[in-house]
Amino acid sequence: MLRKVLFAAAAAMALSVGSAAVAPVSAATLRYANQGDLKSLDPYTLNETTTNAHLGNVYEGLTKRDKDLKIIPGLAESWEIVEPTRWRFHLRKGVKFANGEDFTADDVLFSADRVRAQGSNFQTRVPKDAKFVKVDDYTVDVVLATPNPILHYQWDTWYIMSKKWAEANNATQPTPASAATPSYASLNANGTGPFKIESHQPGVKTVFKPNPGWWGKPEHNLTEVIFTPINSDSTRVAALLSGEVDIIEPVPLQDIQRVNQSQNAQVLTGPELRTIFLGMDQSRDELLESNVKGKNPFKDKRVREAFYKAIDVEAIKSRVMRGLSTPSALMIAPELFALSKDFTRPKADPEAAKKLLAEAGYPNGFEVGMDCPTDRYVNDGPICQAVVGMLARVGVKVNLNAQPKAQYFAKVLKPNGYKTSFYLLGWTPGTLDSHNVLYDIMGCRDDATARGETNLGGYCNKQLDALTDKILVETDADKRNQMIKQAFQIGIDDYGYIPLHQQSLAWGVAKNVKVVQRADNQVLLYWIRKD
């Protein structure tokens, strides 16, 4: 008897402790954890997915993107191209900033200046020479130097700020990293969006509340959102499994099964827009890290083709990515290019690769160094290790230099002189358009313009560049797509790059929460419902 009573008491205690530990929150409080911090609330400080997503709940652009990434009206109700170099934007009326001020054309003009100012990381959102002209309080004309059919493609994340608020708080300029005084706009936000920020402690916690004065009709049913950055993978997963948070991003690949087997959460996966690829130094006359002296093997197309054929992306998908990747034939995600299904990736063929190497004069292969980040993309380090193994089978000895992203990017990017021979990189075109890839990644490097600036291997084909320039100004969608297809085909025929795959999104979501997973990996609160 006594034992029974004791047991009951212990059980009751355990229960009471248990129920108290999971804090009693009302149904519509959403707790969300991300690997990344929300560092600054200034919408022009850092152009990075997580930051843009967070601020997209609070601020809005002239355009928005819907659940399928299609461009829809935002703060601009409609727009038209009056003449090829003059766009007219009709602004939404009756929109108020969170502090109650009216949104007008002055705010657009102000934001256009601020986003292009020193210290902004979004300077390329608006062409340097574009002039913004106020026609009336709710009409703005944008006058361009040259026609630009994709002018507004990135404007969903060019957030409009209030002129009066910025002036009143001495925040008319974005705060550069070298500033000597802290910035008001990095701790406070005043947008027109569906949420406002109640409190923000950088790197610790941010609380969002719905903005009652929002112009749209809310799809969400939330009354509060508590965001916490949780850097450690295992902690993030534990927090989801124990019911302390409702959404986590990302779920590490190795924990997906565990989350799906749990009672209270599941993992939403889907293809991400980022393309992971390998690049080869084709510009130097002798590779920096190789035993081949006096010449650069990657200048020989047969060597690049051999590398392409030696790498088995299907094996990487099944062995390294646990099935969660989409092998890619193109340097852009299929979602972003209408004609992408015209391309298929040839199967791996190590025998052909060996033959090609022999023809190129390397029957016994050669040695080359490879640079690889270890904390930037999903399983980036293991992918590189797999590549090393696959190339070893055709006789190429790869000396892998896997390092944290801070060191990796310091080594391989332009400021350090592109010091790499063979590397892995991931790229999402900021404009969600092929031109960005063709210009920035596949264009010939050119110091006078920004062309090819992230073309770390210096692949170059002038024909492709000529097409890229035409693509920029072509306003007929079909013609434009045909030209993009042609340009990509040139890159493929040259074996300029080795595209690997699109990695997968993996969001951990509690079973009573419904989210919209957009392929650009933005967790947007205004589509979330919680039962």
Partner 1 sequence: MLAFILRRIFQSIVVLLCVGVIAFALFRLVGDPVNQIVSIDTPYEQRMQIRKELGLDDPAIVQFGRYLAKAARFDFGISYQFRQPVASLIGERMPATLELTFVAALFSLVIGIPMGVFTALRRRSFLSGVFMTVSLIGVSLPTFLIAILLRYIFSVQLGWLPSFGRGQVVQLGWWSTGLLTASGLKALILPSITLGLFQMTLIMRLVRAEMLEVLRTDYIKFARARGLSDRAVHFGHALKNTLVPVITIAGLQLGSIIAFALITEYVFQWPGMGALFLGAVQNVDIPVMAAYLLLVSFIFVVVNLVVDVLYAVVDPRLRANLQAA
Q: What residues between 428 and 457 interact with partner 1 by CB under 8 A?
A: 430, 436, 440, 450, 453-454
CB of 273 to partner 1, least distance (A): 14
Please tell me whether residue 414 binds partner 1 under the rule CB under 8 A: yes
Closest CA to 350 of 389, 306, 387, 315: 306
Among 28, 29, 46, 147, binds partner 1 (CB under 8 A): 46
Please list the residues that pair with 132 across neighbouring strands: 142
Among 215, 343, 409, 527, binds partner 1 (CB under 8 A): 409
Question: Which residue's CB is nearer to partner 1, number 291 or number 416?
Answer: 416
Q: What residues between 476 and 505 interact with partner 1 by CB under 8 A?
A: none
Please tell me whether residue 382 binds partner 1 under the rule CB under 8 A: no
d(CA 241, CA 231): 16
Please tell me whether residue 327 binds partner 1 under the rule CB under 8 A: no
Question: Which residue's CB is nearer to partner 1, number 123 or number 489?
Answer: 123
Query: Three-state DSSP class for 48?
Result: coil
Please tell me whether residue 121 binds partner 1 under the rule CB under 8 A: yes
Contact 224, 209 (CB under 8 A): yes
Please tell me whether residue 413 binds partner 1 under the rule CB under 8 A: yes
Name 2's Cβ contacts closer than 8 Å, sequence gap at least 6. none
d(CA 197, CA 241): 27
Contact 96, 192 (CB under 8 A): yes
Question: Which residue's CB is nearer to partner 1, number 174 or number 191?
Answer: 174
Among 78, 146, 223, 416, binds partner 1 (CB under 8 A): 416
Among 40, 162, 401, 521, binds partner 1 (CB under 8 A): 40
- Can you read off the two tokens belonging to residue 117? 């100012």
Q: Which range, of 17-25, 69-77, 326-334, 486-494, touches partner 1 by CB under 8 A? A: 17-25
Q: Which range, of 61-69, 160-168, 237-245, 289-297, touches partner 1 by CB under 8 A? A: 237-245
d(CA 435, CA 70): 17
d(CA 75, CA 392): 55
Question: Which residue's CB is nearer to partner 1, number 95 or number 241?
Answer: 241
Q: How many residues bind partner 1 (CB under 8 A)?
A: 67
Q: Which range, of 33-41, 329-337, 349-357, 458-466, touches partner 1 by CB under 8 A? A: 33-41
Contact 481, 308 (CB under 8 A): no
Among 1, 2, 180, 448, binds partner 1 (CB under 8 A): 180
Query: Three-state DSSP class for 378?
Result: coil
Please tell me whether residue 249 binds partner 1 under the rule CB under 8 A: no
First to last CA, the chain: 43
Q: Which range, of 138-146, 172-180, 275-283, 363-371, touches partner 1 by CB under 8 A? A: 172-180
Among 9, 11, 27, 406, binds partner 1 (CB under 8 A): 406
**At how many degrees (to 10) do helices 462-473 and 477-494 cross?**
160
CB of 450 to partner 1, least distance (A): 5
Cα-to-chain-centroid distance, residue 99 = 31
Please tell me whether residue 136 binds partner 1 under the rule CB under 8 A: no
- Can you read off the two tokens belonging to residue 248? 């986590």
> Between 197 and 236, how does the x/- string for binding to partner 1 read (CB under 8 A)?
----xxxxx----------------------xxxxx-xx-
**At how many degrees (to 10) do helices 301-310 and 350-359 cross?**
160
Query: Three-state DSSP class for 427?
Result: strand
Name 199's Cβ contacts closer than 8 Å, sequence gap at least 6. 205, 206, 207
Question: Which residue's CB is nearer to partner 1, number 48 or number 367?
Answer: 48
d(CA 491, CA 476): 23
Query: Three-state DSSP class for 518?
Result: coil
Among 10, 12, 82, 179, binds partner 1 (CB under 8 A): 179
Q: Which range, of 36-44, 145-153, 269-277, 503-511, touches partner 1 by CB under 8 A? A: 36-44
d(CA 171, CA 163): 9
Question: Which residue's CB is nearer to partner 1, number 168 or number 450?
Answer: 450
Q: Which range, of 46-54, 64-72, 142-150, 345-353, touches partner 1 by CB under 8 A? A: 46-54
Residue 303: exposure state from Cβ atoms within 10 A (0-12, 13-18, ≥19): buried
Question: Which residue's CB is nearer to partner 1, number 254 or number 416?
Answer: 416
Please tell me whether residue 47 binds partner 1 under the rule CB under 8 A: yes
Question: Which residue's CB is nearer to partner 1, number 199 or number 291?
Answer: 199
Mind giving me the DSSP string for 126-193? Answer: S-TT-EEEEEETTEEEEE-SS--TTTTTTGGGS----HHHHHHTT-SSPPPTT-SS--STTT----SS
Contact 365, 397 (CB under 8 A): yes
Question: Which residue's CB is nearer to partner 1, number 230 or number 370?
Answer: 230
| Footprint of partner 1 (CB under 8 A) | 14, 17-18, 20-23, 37, 39-40, 42, 45-48, 118, 121, 123-124, 175-183, 186-187, 201-205, 228-232, 234-235, 238-239, 241-244, 375, 404-410, 413-416, 427, 430, 436, 440, 450, 453-454
